[in-house]
Structures are given as structure tokens and as C-alpha cells.
Amino acid sequence: MKALRSAHLHSSVQPSSSSIARSFQRKLLGIAVGLVVGSTVIRPEIVIAQEQHKPVFALETVVVTARNREEIAQKVPLPVSVVGGKALDRDNIVSVNDLVKKVPNLGVFGSNPRQTSISLRGIGKNAANDTMEPSVGVIVDGVVSSYVGQSWNDFIDLDRIEVIRGPQGTLLGKNTTLGVVNIVTKAPSFKTGYTYEVRYGDYNELGGKVSATGAIIDDLLAYRGSIFFNKKDGVLDNVWQSGPETWNETNRVGGRLQFLLTPDETLSARIIVDSIQSVENGNKSLLVSNGPEYFNDGVVRDPTFQSRLERDYFNNPDGTHYEPVYGNNEIEDSQARPQRTEQGGVSVELKKLLNDEYTLTSITAYREQHFDIKNGGVTRFDIGNGGQQLWNDQTSQEFRLNYKGEKNYDYQIGLYYLDASVYSDDPTYYGADASAFNASNGQWSALNAPQYRGLLTDAQRGVYRSYVLEPKTESYAAFGQVNWHFTEKTTLTLGLRDTQEEKTGRNRRELDRPGVGITNATGTDNSKATNYGLDLTNAADLAAWNAAKALYRSAIGTGSAGDKGIYDWVDGDSISDNSVAWLLSPSYQLTNDVLLYGSLSSGEKSGAVEFNTDSSSPDYGQPQNVAPEKAENAELGFKSLLIDRRLLLNANLYYTQLTDYQSNLTEPDATQPTGFRTYLGNIPGVTAKGIEFETAFAVTPNLSVNLAGAYNRATYDQFFTTLPDISTTQLADYSGKQLHGAPKTTLTYGFDWHQAFGDGYGWNLFLNNAYRSDAYLIPSQSEYSLQEAYNVTDAGIGIDKGNGKYKLTLIIKNLFDEHYKTGAGTYSSTTAVTEQPAYGRAFSLAFRADL
């Protein structure tokens, strides 16, 4: 078999001890399984201890490419978690969101591509920022996603997913400050193979996958083609619609086509083309309550969400007050529309063996994404609609030279280029019922008389405005890493990266449709008052007219800032930033099965071209950039295999210090309906420190158990933000508090039991439990956003035939029907409390054939 063709399919890593050679034989990468943090242990293989000439059982070897070469995970001096192909297939893990129940200290947040963010060790939760780079990178088959929302999809033909913690960049394409999620898919094979899978279950779940691989021309050209569909009703029912309509659903279809070309023993080319589309009712929150009657400081909340809807404008036909729908996973929404996402790309990976010691790799890629959503509201009325239209695309090129010879060192060096752009259009639409709902008590009092009903309706009806951002990035980098083997057991790893980034951006606020337009942007035009039969010398008419004008100006975005709320393109202050990342990591192989390691590292991600969003400021809409985010990180850990390699025990301590942490900030702003404004800026300092551990034990040849977890203190060093749930907008000192979305304790544990019976049959019983301690879900840490500690248990039982060739599995997600929420907030600027509930208990049946 040709060398490079084999390299795409097999692990080339061999252990140094001949006594265990049988247990570390080369394996298909698809057999690599996650026995580290968050992974599900599979049935251990039977290996022969040659010196004893008797069968023993041990945990199966895990192969990773965290350092751009195939290595045994236990030999890699990094805190890396792996979820392998068997666990991915069995548990139907197809997205980054699904990983949270498998990997402690990992957080994935968001209900659509733009709201997506990924955190590690409690840091990195920053969604809906189109100018900001992610702190946790996502890499798919060697291609870095410049926009984190590209990870909002289903991945197919997964081989494994690696979660690498700490600043990255001395070996990877794009620099990050917190870590990387590295997604590796199965490559084409010259051996013919077919995989079929179908799933059916609760919430009308229906999904299927088909994958085929084989030779087109023997020893020269192979292919792999895969398609999937994934459909599942949402957890929320829209009871306003005449027919069944669920929200926060899944409805996706996509495919991948790959080719592997090996013209000779030294050259290979892997070409990947993929496309995914989704049309989903999503990003919807459940109304939980009207909110407390009083603020925490004793002041009455007025108007509340419900008191607005109790205005006679919204009365039912029989004259009774309209009652919103609260709880019970039911919503009323007449305005929301499905979110549509289209994304795809192409990549070409070339590998050239220059000789027995040097390998040259080139990865060229292009990716794009288009996203469109109309969020609607939480009632049956035409109050308004918001959403997002977003386009992002990227072109990247990476070169890597890998040396691994007979000398006492090995190294990798590389060059990286990225050209990325985003076009983000954030629209707001006001419906016919908008003014009646948005009016303050004073405005409602002025406009409530029947003769002013037409003026009330027209004040905001039909207004459509948008805020547009267009950031662009060009990134150039050189990186390298060397492993210096001082002795057979002692290695010092040194890494260095230099990155030069050029960023530009511009913004505008445009009035796409002025609606009825009862006045002008400054509110000085009174010419249309007579259209409503008003006599402005009459006090009541004048009060009504002024109230309507104020509502109109609020809708078009001018407010008290004159005509500054609408402006044409304003160029931002461009960024030309150079940053250096480095790594210093000693490791010591105490025995063949025990590795000690430590590391010091530093990373940086560049700033963002941003703009002033304070409408009361004379610099409104003008440049206001965000500073770079810098990270310094320390790790101290060990990896071990004990008790004849039946017991895996790994642990590491970490300390991460972030300076100028990029995050959404909130400050008082009297011009806003909420009394405050939120914008992208820098928090002076954030610290994360804690311990992570993992253990797996092969109890018998058929039974394995695993336990992994983390204790994490992720706190603000210095941070002031608005105090929640009080009547006046005040800043409070959050220094020393745990970050939102950062539970202190996370655990995952479970077992996997496989037993043969009959003629070639086997049955499998498995369970996985994920525990998270309590955590606030929004930055203000309001009491309504607290998610108390919870457990989610998934289990299943299956039967297989032909050594796993055919499998039928009954899967139970959320076995004990635990109620928990994945998001929390309030509706618009009102008091209403909202949340995004997770799925309850759900049964599904899956059939899979590997032929």
C-alpha cells in the first residue's frame, strides 16, 4: 500500500516497549476512542501480554492529531479531551452543541449561528458580535472557521472530536487565547464500504445518514460520499397558529463529497466539498412570568409586560383583558419566521513526502455562510419583528513542514494566511400594534382616547430600520514548534508564533422604510397633524401629537439625539496589529505508562473595529475600537495507565489570566428604553484556575466505566456592570464573582457493557450522566437567570449482529426528565421573564449497518 495513502487511513504511532506491542498495533483512525475527559469508554480490546503468554484485557489506544501528527493521546503533554467515533455514532453527536454533555469545562451557547459562542474553563461566552474573533477556535479537517457561527451545523462522517485547552497557535492555523475544538472526519478509503443509519423517536424525530467509500481507480483515486437529513420537532408549541407548529426545532440536510488522489508513494491530495442547508423554527424563548411586581429596592415596576397588554387596545372581542401565554412550553407568536442557513465550502489538502524525514503539507480552503432570521415576538399581536441577515466568507492558505528523523529533536514550522469578511444587517420592524405596546404610561394616557386611535397606530407602524456592519480581516502568520529530546525520557517543547493582522470595518444606520412618517427625524415637522384632525392649540391634541412624535422618533432611532440616529457609511479606525504567542513545555516519561508534563504559554487575539453606540454622545456612530485580548496560561499535569493498562488516570492543574478580555459591556444610558446600553468592549482582567481529571477503568473484558470532571473558578479581576432588578440604573462591582455561564463543578460519568450471546449476536447497555453545578446565564447575574445544579442522564440498550455489522439501539435522552434551561432573559425592554427550555425525556430507535 502506498505510504501516503496508508497515512490517511492508519495510525503510524508505535510504542517503544515490545512487551505491549500487540496492544498498540496500527488502527483505523475510526477506532480511536475517547477515554479522556468527557469521552465514553468503549469495550476494551483483548490483548496478549507476550511475557506471560496469557490473555489480559486493557483499555484501547486513543490516537489524536492535536499536534498535527498522529500520536497516542497518553503520550501528548497537553490537556486534550477526545470523543471518538463509536461514541459519536452511538449517541448521535453531530454538532458542537452536543459535546457539552461529554466534555467537562466546555460550554456551547446559542440558538442560531449568530448567537453561537464556545467557552472553555468558563471563559469565552460572547455571542452576537460580528466584529470579534472567537476565543475558542473551531477547526474542521485542518480548516479554521474564522466566524464561530460556522459551527452551527451537523457534521457527518465524524472520526473524532478533540478539545484542546490553552492558548493555541504555535502549531495551528489561527491563533486563539483559550483553546480549540478540532473536528476530524473520516477520509476516503480504497476499501469499499457502506454505512446506512436511520433514527426515529419522540418529538417526531426522523434522521438518516448514508455514506459510501471505495476506489474509483485502484491505488490511485478513492472517494467518500455522504448525505444526511436530520429533523426533530422543537420543545415549544406555538398555540396561536391554526395547525401544529413547534419552535427551536431541527430541520437540516447536507452532504459531503471527498476524493483522495495518490499518484505516487510520496504525494497525496484530499479534496473535500460540502454543503448544508437548514430551514428551522428557532431562536424562540418561552414566557415564564410577568416578572416580579417590585424591584429589589422596593419600587413598583410600572409599566410591566402584562400591564401593557391590559390596555384596552389589546382587549379580546368580548371586552375582557388579553392574557399572555405563560409556561407549559407554549408560546403565541404571529410574526416569527423560520431561520434559514446555507453554508458550505471546498478544501484541498496536499501532502508531499520530501524524504524519509520531511513532510510538506498545504491546505487551501474557501468557506461561506448565509443566515437569515425573523425573530417575531411573544404574543399574537403585530408588535414588531427583529432579526438578522448575515453573510460571511473566508479564504485561507496554510503550509506546514514537519521533520521527524533520527536526531534528538523533531519540529514543525508553518505559514498561514486568512482573508475573511462579514456583512451583518440587523433590522428592526414595527407593526401596527407597536405603538400601543411600546408607549410609556404617559404616552398611553395622551393617546388612549378613541379620536387618537389612528394616530396611535400610525406613530410606529411600518417603520423598518437596520444597523449594518462590514468588518474585514487579513491575517498573516509564521509559526513553529520543536520537541527537544534531551534524554529518552525528557523532552522540552518550545513554540513560537508571530501574527500580523490588518482589520478594517464600517457601519451605517439606515431607515429602509419610514412607515407612515408622521414627522421628520428631528420631530420638527408638524404638517401632518391636520391629517388626524388635530388642533395643536388644543392642549389634549398637542399632548397626543407630541407623544406620537416621540414614539415615531424612537422607532426610527433618532430619539433625543436629533438626526444622528440615521447616517450613511462611517469608516472605522483600521487596525494593524502584530502579536507574538509562545509555548514552553517540559515533559518527563516517568515510565512507559506515566507521563509528567507542565507548560507555560501566551496567546493573543487581535482587537475589533467597533463603533460608538451611545446615541447621547457627540461621537455616536464614530469609531470606538476594542483592544486585543491577551492570555497567559500555566498547566501542570500527569497522564497514566495503571493496573496492566486497565486503569487510565489523568489530571492537570491550570491557571489562566486574561487581560483586556473582550466581552459585551453594559452601562447606564438614559436615552435607551431600558436605561442602559450594551456594547462590545474590554474587561480589564479575568482569571480561571482549577483542576481537571479523567479516569477510565476496564472492569472486565466486557465492562468499562469512566469518570471525568473539573472544578473551575473563573472570576472577574476587575469589572463593573449594571446592577440587575433595581428601579434605577446603577453600576455594581462584580470583581471576584464567577463569570456567567461558568458552573464551578462539572462531571461526566458512565459505563458501557457489551455481552455476546447466541450465534454472532451481542447486546450493549450504556449510560452517561452529565452534572453541572449552578450558574447564572446572563452577565448581569439577575436572579431569574440562575440555572440551579442539574443532572442529565442518557442511556441505551442495543443488539448487534456480525460483530457490530448491524446494530439496533433504543436510546433514552434525559432519562429522568430533568428540567433545565439553556438560556434566559427578558422580553424586549419589559419585565417579562423568558427562558429557553431544553428537551425533556425522549426515546428514539436507531438502526445502523456498516457493510
pLDDT tens track for 186-224: 999 999 999 999 999 999 999 999 999 999 999 999 999
Identify the pLDDT of residue 174.
86
- Range in 75-89, 373-387, 550-564 the model is least confident about: 550-564
Instruction: Evaluate if residue 90 carries a pLDDT over 90.
Output: no
Sequence-ordered alpha helix ranges (H) in 409-477: 434-438, 441-447, 453-458
Of 438, 656, 697, the closest CA to residue 550 belongs to 438
Identify the pLDDT of residue 74.
82
Residue 541: enclosing H or E segment and its boundaries?
Answer: helix 539-556
Using pLDDT thresholds of 50, 70 and 90, give the confidence band for residue 723. low
Q: Which three cell numbers stand for residue 450?
A: 378613541
Instruction: Evaluate if residue 764 carries a pLDDT over 70.
Output: yes
CA atoms within 13 A on the CB side of 682: 18
Instruction: Evaluate if residue 559 carries a pLDDT over 70.
Output: no
Identify the pLDDT of residue 36.
32
Write the pLDDT tens digit of every residue in 490-513: 999 999 999 999 999 999 988 888
How far is it, in rounded angstroms, from Cα 387 to Cα 442?
A: 29
How far is it, in rounded angstroms, from Cα 279 to Cα 804?
A: 35
Q: 516 or 633: whose pLDDT is higher?
A: 633
Using pLDDT thresholds of 50, 70 and 90, give the confidence band for residue 523. confident
Q: 760 or 791: whose pLDDT is higher?
A: 791
Of 345, 496, 500, the closest CA to residue 418 belongs to 500
Identify the pLDDT of residue 675.
61
Identify the pLDDT of residue 91.
84
**8 A C-beta contact, residue 650 and residue 640:** yes
Write the pLDDT tens digit of every residue in 26-81: 332 232 333 333 333 333 333 333 334 444 566 777 766 666 666 777 888 888 88
Identify the pLDDT of residue 598.
96
Identify the pLDDT of residue 671.
59
Write the pLDDT tens digit of every residue in 149-173: 888 888 989 999 999 998 888 887 8
Residue 303: cis peptide before it, omega within 30 degrees of 0: yes
Identify the pLDDT of residue 116.
83
Q: 101 or 71: whose pLDDT is higher?
A: 101
Mean pLDDT, rounded, for 616-644? 90
At 330 the three-state DSSP class reads strand
Query: Quick count: other Cβ atoms within 10 Å of Cβ 199?
Result: 20
Q: What type of residue is 814? A: N
Mean pLDDT, rounded, for 436-453? 93
Residue 659: enclosing H or E segment and its boundaries?
Answer: strand 647-668
Instruction: Evaluate if residue 595 carries a pLDDT over 50.
Output: yes
Identify the pLDDT of residue 278.
93
Identify the pLDDT of residue 56.
57
Using pLDDT thresholds of 50, 70 and 90, give the confidence band for residue 672. low
Residue 37: enclosing H or E segment and its boundaries?
Answer: none
Using pLDDT thresholds of 50, 70 and 90, give the confidence band for residue 23. very low
Identify the pLDDT of residue 210.
97
Between CA 151 and CA 656, with CA 153 as vertex, the angle to 5 degrees is 25
Identify the pLDDT of residue 732.
79
Of 153, 154, 156, 331, the closest CA to residue 236 belongs to 331
Write the pLDDT tens digit of every residue in 227-236: 999 999 999 9
How far is it, in rounded angstroms, from Cα 70 to Cα 260?
A: 19
Q: What type of residue is 387? A: G
State the average pLDDT for the chain.
86
Identify the pLDDT of residue 674.
58
How far is it, in rounded angstroms, from Cα 272 to Cα 223?
A: 10
Instruction: Evaluate if residue 17 carries a pLDDT over 60.
Output: no
Mean pLDDT, rounded, for 309-329? 91
**8 A C-beta contact, residue 206 and residue 186:** no
CA atoms within 13 A on the CB side of 294: 4
Using pLDDT thresholds of 50, 70 and 90, give the confidence band for residue 307. confident
Q: 71 or 685: whose pLDDT is higher?
A: 685
How far is it, in rounded angstroms, from Cα 250 to Cα 237?
A: 14
Q: 423: Cβ–Cβ under 8 A, 6 or more apart, which residues? A: 390, 391, 392, 468, 469, 470
Mean pLDDT, rounded, for 750-772? 93
How far is it, in rounded angstroms, from Cα 20 to Cα 41?
A: 20
The fraction of the chain above a pLDDT of 70, given in percent, is 87
